[in-house]
Structure 1
């Protein structure tokens, strides 16, 4: 399978409101179109996760980030430009995103991905991609494809056929960035 083939197959599923299992720049993730509330709900059900726990979205660049966050604080660009590992930022006031993806405090965790597959898939989808670890809620995040629970494998509509032999990286650093300028590290 070529990268292009995998992007096309995943894109077809995402446009139909389906779920994909895919390698990200950190760990294997479950994804869907982040603007599709029904698809987001399927992920909560598959992971047996409370819809009060938020999930991460991936965008392909800063321009796309600005399309889905009302007001990106200037410091976000510096944090992301100088981060030496994948960094997710929780932003206030997301816009044009499925409501069930937005946290009760009207925030959303977004990462600008550097992974080639993810970047190209998101560019073609023209929408952010949900990215949540490929595990049942409360169980450890799988460190490789071979550790993913069969319930997850059976519960998605398509499994991307790339990097299955690669060990996953660590989950991303998560930083909460409030519009008042305050910065809080949630996960290092």
Structure 2
């Protein structure tokens, strides 16, 4: 399995480095991914999903160290929330840095999840920067619960489909919490 992880992550990394889109299993649902620092790749994600650029995207980081490289000031409470979260949890942070401008929301925030999934962790760690992770569906349509439910339009619209976990059922989307630098905490999705 480790060799599969390595070869699949290398194929995906090659596509990401060229500004392409990948379809990959995340710690929650099947996701469309791209390089979080490449504005053209992010535009392709919005176009494929037929999603307004005013709707934010999530990105994955491999660990707390990487999180700190892409957020100006991570609130201390974030570490406790992530350490004790019972399920995958995405946090919306103020003042993201070193990512493409079109990934940052109008209110200067970015949703980031520290992934615990072995494949995603390996992929992001080896890519050495955050990877966009948005559900593999057209905006407004139901999130696919398995690989077999992903629309042909999405499958054809990406440059590479990761050949792992295609028979596994997806879990629910992550919880989303907004942590503001002024200390406010808001649960966006349970």
TM class by shorter chain equals over 0.9
Give the Cα separation in 2 of the matches to 1:84 and 1:137: 27
1:116 aligns to 2:92 (yes or no): no
* Deviation of the 1:147 alpha carbon: 0.3
Give the Cα separation in 2 of the matches to 1:2 and 1:114: 18
Give the Cα separation in 1 of the matches to 2:48 and 2:59: 17
The gaps in structure 2 that reach 5 residues or longer are none
Pick one of 87, 91, 94 that aligns with 2:93.
Answer: 91
TM-score, scaled relative to structure 1: 0.99
Q: CA RMSD in A?
A: 0.7
1:157-168 mapped onto 2 (5 Å cutoff): 157-168=159-170
* Deviation of the 1:2 alpha carbon: 1.1
TM-score, scaled relative to structure 2: 0.98
4+ residue segments displaced more than 6 Å: none
* Deviation of the 1:4 alpha carbon: 1.0
1:153 aligns to 2:155 (yes or no): yes
The gaps in structure 1 that reach 5 residues or longer are none
Pick one of 159, 182, 185 that aligns with 2:184.
Answer: 182
Give the Cα separation in 2 of the matches to 1:123 and 1:2: 16
Per-residue CA shift, 1:137-170, capped at 9, x if unaligned?
Answer: 0100000000001000000000000000000000
Pick one of 131, 141, 144 that aligns with 1:142.
Answer: 144
1:1-188 mapped onto 2 (5 Å cutoff): 2-188=4-190
